[in-house]
Structure 1
């Protein structure tokens, strides 16, 4: 649904927002920030500034009930109507020649002076496996003749993860310890992961939930999505390879996942909605509970996704980060609405602030892979960097940055802000 908040000619009196790579006035993402002198509170990114919604509400220009607290859960629960109203109000307040410019200007903080926090209290976290190219690439390494299991094209595959170790961008994580048993060793040993990897994903924030035992029809599923972020679901591949059967990932995943701290709303992404890619000839049609014509027509997203690697050697020589891959959200096999509907199809109660991961989003060519497991073919084809370093998997001191940009002719492009994390030595 496009409206005046998406107008390409719309400009802000916050001059840094005009032409900003991530946060022009057409974006207005929500988050939780703090300054040196204050507690965490809700804010909105606008250019290189953060608009303090708590302070703004004290002026009477926005609804205090919608913007109080130190987490977005209560606001997520309100659904799309109040979210659209707040967006329209903020767009008018921040626009060039706003009659309230002085009052709003007093509520701005330089983003460089702000610390970002998790935007919501995450009750539950579910990681899907909706990137079909990634699933095929990984499956091919273990089952060359049959990379996808028979259920993949019928059911959105996912598993329940943990929420306690999801961290905001900029948080460093220690290399995990765990049991490893490579083929060259006869018994497992406990120690630091030797094959540490990243995974390029989108995060999906849940808004209004459903009662225990109720389902969410596919036609209504998009109304239960509050927004999106970037997600790096770090993976210890050697630990994963030993432990994942029969029940799936455990310690290989639960040491940490990184997310970008700003919530990009469905309204901000409206210009970048596209039709879901048609399934190849011979693929089964989704079962009726997962099929909705409107969702197929505009339920997918066109978002360019980049993975950048900075190493100690690149940094020491003053070299730029190495781009490991460039993918796009359009490569997901299932739409976000299909993930929501399937998750609730057995009566699971989703709650505001729950977080989904899409699964690794890889494209169809080598330069679009979303993990080192794919880029290096399981470590057998190391990446050579301009610094002279090589990487099979991540080393201590390495830093991964995920970048997302939504672009379309005739629309102002928007970004997500970085999702960044670095690796510390194992404890």
Structure 2
């Protein structure tokens, strides 16, 4: 197993097998791109400045001199592979370049808990899918007929909607309760005020690389060549606002107020050892969505809730990315089949990820069955939906033999609505 000269605990999300991408603010106020290993961040700007990314794909590209990853992501998979191989070589136990150069090492390695991470990409476009069959069946059973929980199109295409990118925020950003129109007690007359059914949605998202030209499409077979990496996503939701507004065109204010993502982008290459089988698709999708050797990734996902009265967060959901019915490749192929152009830095979220068991449901809507079965917490409190002061903590990792490839956390705390 590949080892680094940097000591990394076996429970760390960031061994040398991972090396995710992020960005941080230097003491001088500049934004530098970085990676993570153990308790440290690795300053990619400095490594690039020193000419250490000198392979055929990255030589003289200065791919890590920007304040975002967008240019690097536009270079495509050969450049991504070369950068990852270079990083692994520089950080390996046998390499002297960093290990034995104290001055360079001090410039490159910073304690992760001593720096401020910032958004590593400029997200131009955002699409949210609805790709978990368990979640779709739960919601359909709750609000329609359990025998007809899925709408007729659900197993024929990855249902999704175009969101907005402006309110996507980084983990640890505090979120104000949104306001909007709701219809209390099933009245047909709306009232205006703060949402009373605030929810989280456990999702994962992928960030795109090179993309395609307007009018062209990306085939399902080549789609992963355009997927740079994955992030954790909490797509916050206001269920009562959504109930009133979503017909006929879908959610609007209920979803536009905030989406939180984790600060580290884990590459497809780091996740390759964790490929696994997908749920069987029946009926067979149309040809443009049919994947040969269809696969996904085995990524354990957890949601914890911490209230003002709890000393420690309490786990309320445990599920897995592998449960999703529609794969990332199918999502991207469907997004582009009509000619939509994908750009470096676009974000595509999976939709809520739920499993088959009650403790694997990825939203409060499902956990409490629309508030009818409140969640009991160790503090003695109950929750039907999120209250002011509640903090939602999501984490995810893939378990290897003696190491983890993880995403860290995406966290967010609910503040009262702005008057």
TM-score range, shorter chain: over 0.9
CA contact (8 A) 2:131 2:326 kept: yes
CA contact (8 A) 1:134 1:369 kept: yes
Q: 1:261 to 1:342 in 2, by over 3 A?
A: same
User: Where does the alignment leave 5 or more consecutive residues of structure 2 unmatched?
Assistant: 55-60
Q: CA deviation at 1:411?
A: 6.5
Q: CA deviation at 1:186?
A: 4.6
Give me the whole-angstrom Cα distance separating, in 2, the residues matched to 1:152 and 1:59: 51
Q: 1:20 to 1:86 in 2, by over 3 A?
A: farther
Larger CA deviation: 259-268 vs 64-73:
64-73
Give me the whole-angstrom Cα distance separating, in 2, the residues matched to 1:58 and 1:142: 57
Report runs of 4+ in structure 1 exceeding 4 Å deviation: none
Give me the whole-angstrom Cα distance separating, in 2, the residues matched to 1:183 and 1:76: 49
2:197 is matched with 195
1:210 is matched with 212
User: Which of the numbers 165, 168, 174 marks the counterpart of 1:166?
Assistant: 168
2:369 is matched with 377
2:58 is matched with none
Give me the whole-angstrom Cα distance separating, in 2, the residues matched to 1:349 and 1:129: 21
Total equivalences in the alignment? 407
Give me the whole-angstrom Cα distance separating, in 1, the residues matched to 2:331 and 2:403: 28
CA contact (8 A) 1:11 1:18 kept: no
Q: 1:222 to 1:411 in 2, by over 3 A?
A: farther
Give me the whole-angstrom Cα distance separating, in 2, the residues matched to 1:333 and 1:398: 31
**3-state SS, counterpart of residue 205 of structure 2:** strand
2:267 is matched with 265
Give me the whole-angstrom Cα distance separating, in 1, the residues matched to 2:154 and 2:279: 16
Give me the whole-angstrom Cα distance separating, in 2, the residues matched to 1:105 and 1:96: 17
Q: CA RMSD in A?
A: 1.2
1:94 is matched with 91
CA contact (8 A) 2:26 2:32 kept: no
Q: 1:60 to 1:20 in 2, by over 3 A?
A: farther
CA contact (8 A) 2:304 2:314 kept: yes
Give me the whole-angstrom Cα distance separating, in 2, the residues matched to 1:72 and 1:365: 38
TM-score (norm 2): 0.95
TM-score (norm 1): 0.93
**3-state SS, counterpart of residue 252 of structure 1:** helix
User: Which of the numbers 14, 24, 39 marks the counterpart of 2:30?
Assistant: 39
CA contact (8 A) 2:11 2:404 kept: no
User: Which of the numbers 71, 75, 80 marks the counterpart of 2:77?
Assistant: 80
User: Which of the numbers 330, 335, 342 marks the counterpart of 1:338?
Assistant: 330
Give me the whole-angstrom Cα distance separating, in 1, the residues matched to 2:279 and 2:372: 32
Give me the whole-angstrom Cα distance separating, in 1, the residues matched to 2:344 and 2:228: 8
1:304 is matched with 300
Give me the whole-angstrom Cα distance separating, in 2, the residues matched to 1:171 and 1:368: 25
2:111 is matched with 110
User: Where does the alignment leave 5 or more consecutive residues of structure 1 unmatched?
Assistant: 1-8
Give me the whole-angstrom Cα distance separating, in 2, the residues matched to 1:402 and 1:415: 12
Q: CA deviation at 1:18?
A: 4.3
Give me the whole-angstrom Cα distance separating, in 2, the residues matched to 1:110 and 1:20: 17
CA contact (8 A) 1:20 1:47 kept: no
Q: Deviations over 1:252-308 (max 9, x none)?
A: 0100000001110000000011122223xxx311111111213x1xx3111000000
1:288 is matched with 287
Q: Deviations over 1:225-252 (max 9, x none)?
A: 0100000000000000000000001000
**3-state SS, counterpart of residue 309 of structure 2:** helix
**3-state SS, counterpart of residue 205 of structure 1:** strand
Give me the whole-angstrom Cα distance separating, in 1, the residues matched to 2:340 and 2:49: 38
2:50 is matched with 59
1:412 matched to 2:410: no
Q: 1:92 to 1:376 in 2, by over 3 A?
A: same
CA contact (8 A) 2:12 2:403 kept: no
